[in-house]
């Protein structure tokens, strides 16, 4: 797996979302998966089958759980030299809709992807449809 500096992730996200407020990147370097590896992980995750329960099991809970699942999966499947460039994000606009939402973010070899943890939908990050304010990896 390729490696990326945390400073490069910060530059990439700032270029996409100039108003990004906080980036909590807990390490200096991260392992970057290929998009196919991310899709393989999402295909076996069963988090999307869990029930949405307002306030008790909602978007922030799904994002936290998928973040933990991804870390476990990639540590077991790959020989990671650094932590996976996968985390949680908070948006004020998501998929074109103006709403507050927690979801997941992953830096892959060919760019940044956003993941809806409740459905496993994955799409390339786009500043026109999404406004991310917080990233945690």
Residue-level pLDDT at 53: 59
Residue-level pLDDT at 129: 94
Phi, psi of 32 (to 5 degrees): -110, 115
Report d(CA 45, CA 23) in Å as an integer.
26
Under 8 Å CB-to-CB from 31, ≥6 apart: which residues? 1, 2, 3, 74, 78, 80, 81, 82, 83, 84, 85
Q: Is domain 2-48+62-136 classified as CATH 3.40.50.970?
A: no
H helices present in 45-129, as ranges: 59-77
Report d(CA 122, CA 101) in Å as an integer.
15
Report d(CA 72, CA 27) in Å as an integer.
17
Residue-level pLDDT at 23: 96
Q: What is the mean pLDDT of each run of 10 residues along the chain (137 residues)?
A: 96 96 95 96 84 68 93 87 95 88 96 95 95 96
H helices present in 33-136, as ranges: 35-44, 59-77
Whole-model pTM?
0.92
**CB distance 136 to 88 below 8 Å:** yes
């Amino acid at each position: 797996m390729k490696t990326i500096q945390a400073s490069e992730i910060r530059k990439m996200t700032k270029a996409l979302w100039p108003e990004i407020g906080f980036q909590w990147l807990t390490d200096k370097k991260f392992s970057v998966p290929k998009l196919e590896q991310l899709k393989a992980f999402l295909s076996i995750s069963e988090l999307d089958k869990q029930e949405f329960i307002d306030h008790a099991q909602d978007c922030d809970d799904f994002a936290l759980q998928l973040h933990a699942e991804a870390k476990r999966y990639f540590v077991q499947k790959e020989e990671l030299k650094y932590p996976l460039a996968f985390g949680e994000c908070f948006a004020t606009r998501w998929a074109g809709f103006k709403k507050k939402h927690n979801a997941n973010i992953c830096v892959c070899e060919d760019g940044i992807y956003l993941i809806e943890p409740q459905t496993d939908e994955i799409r390339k990050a786009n500043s026109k449809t999404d406004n991310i304010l917080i990233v945690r990896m």
